[in-house]
Amino acid sequence: MIERRAFRVMGTEIELVVRNGGADGAFHRAEHEFHRLEALLSRFRDDSELSRLNRDGALDAGPDLLAVVELALAARERTGGRFDPTVHDAVVNAGYDRTFEEVAPDSDGCLVASTPAAGAVRIAGGRIALGPGVRLDLGGIGKGYAAERAAVLLAAAGPCLVNAGGDVATRGGPWPVGVATADGSITLELLTGGLATSGRDRRHWRRNGQEQHHLIDPRTGEPSRSDLLRATVVASDAIEAEIAAKSLFLAGADRAVEEADTAGIPAVLVTGDGRTILAGGLAA
C-alpha cells in the first residue's frame, strides 16, 4: 500500500511517499522538519539563521546551517567552483530577490553589474564568518538537505521517497521516477540513492527584455549560458545529486556527457535545441 502526502514549503511542492500504511506520525514529523529547516535556511525570511548570517557577516550557527554550509563549501572545492553558495548577490542582481512566486515574469528594473562569486567563507568551531560583501544562497542544497533529513524521519514508517520540487531522496527502493526529456519523459527505476534536476526551464523571467534564470555561473556572476535546458542526475543522495546536476548543467552538454561518463554519474541531459542525452552508464 502506498501512502502520500503533499504540501508546499521552501517555495516548492513537496511530496512524501511511503510504501507501508499507518505513516501519519512519520508524515507529520517529516513535514515539520521541512518547515523547521525553511525557518533556518531561507534567504527570504528576515529571521532565518541564514538571513542573520548574511546581514551580520558572522554567526554562531546551529548544527543544520553549519552542516549545509560545510557541505556547500566542500562541493565548491570538489566541483572546482561550479557549485558555489556565495552566488547570493548575483542571483539577486539577476532579479531573483524575492520568492519566485513574487518575481515579475517580465520587468524593466535595472540590472546591476555581474557579481562573480568565490567569496570567502571561514568556519571555526561553530562560527561562520563571511568575507566583506559575501552573502550565501543555500536554496538548492538546502532543499536536498531537507529532503534527506525528511527521508531519515520517514524511513521509520517503511520504504519511502521524498520529492522536494525535483530533489528526490529515497530509502528502500525501487522507486520509479519520471524524468522529463525533450519530447516526453522516461522512467528511471531508482534502487538506492537520490536524484535531482537542475534546469532553466522553470525558474526563469525577463529583465529589460533579457532572459534570466536562477542558475548562476559563479565564474561570470550571471545566469549560465549553458546549452543545456536541464540536467537530471542520480547520486548517492539528494544533496550529491543536486550538486552534480548543477555542476553538469553549468558544464554544458559536451563537457557534461564527458564528465558523467568518466565519473559514472547516471545523468539525463536535455539540450536547449531539443536533444535528450543519456550519460554515465544510463541506457534506454
Partner 1 sequence: MASHLGRLYALAFALVVFFLTWAVVAAHPWASPAPDRRLRALAVREAELRREARLVHEVVAQRWAAYASELKLRRARIAAVRSRAAQLAAQATVAPAPASAAPSVRVVTLPPLTITRSS
CA atoms 85, 89, 91, 97: torsion sign: positive
Question: Based on CB atoms, which residue is closest to partner 1, 76 or 214?
Answer: 214
Rounded-to-integer distance, Cα 257 and Cα 105, Å:
32
Question: Based on CB atoms, which residue is closest to partner 1, 68 or 136?
Answer: 68
By CB under 8 A, name the binding residues for partner 1: 2, 12, 15, 17, 29, 63, 67, 140, 143, 145, 148-149, 151-153, 156, 161, 163-169, 173, 175-180, 185-203, 230, 232, 234-242, 266, 278, 282-284
* Shortest Cβ 28–partner 1 spacing (Å): 11
Question: Based on CB atoms, which residue is closest to partner 1, 57 or 193?
Answer: 193
* Shortest Cβ 107–partner 1 spacing (Å): 21
Strands 106-107, 204-207: pairing is parallel
Residue 182 has which C-alpha cell?
A: 525533450
* Shortest Cβ 177–partner 1 spacing (Å): 6
Question: Based on CB atoms, which residue is closest to partner 1, 89 or 237?
Answer: 237
Q: In degrees rounded to 5, what are phi and psi of residue 17?
A: -130, 130
Question: Based on CB atoms, which residue is closest to partner 1, 116 or 165?
Answer: 165
For residue 265, what are the contacts with CB-CB under 8 A and spacing of at least 6? 233, 234, 235, 244, 248, 259, 279, 280
Q: Which helix (H) or strand (E) holds 210?
A: strand 210-213
* Shortest Cβ 120–partner 1 spacing (Å): 26
Rounded-to-integer distance, Cα 189 and Cα 7, Å:
24
Question: Based on CB atoms, which residue is closest to partner 1, 40 or 195?
Answer: 195
* Shortest Cβ 163–partner 1 spacing (Å): 5
Rounded-to-integer distance, Cα 216 and Cα 272, Å:
17
* Shortest Cβ 249–partner 1 spacing (Å): 9
Question: Based on CB atoms, which residue is closest to partner 1, 130 or 151?
Answer: 151
* Shortest Cβ 189–partner 1 spacing (Å): 4
* DSSP sequence for 83-126: S-GGGHHHHHHTT--S-GGGS-SEE-PPPPPP------EEEETT
Task: Tell me which residue of 261, 255, 189 sits closest to 271, measured CA to CA.
Answer: 255
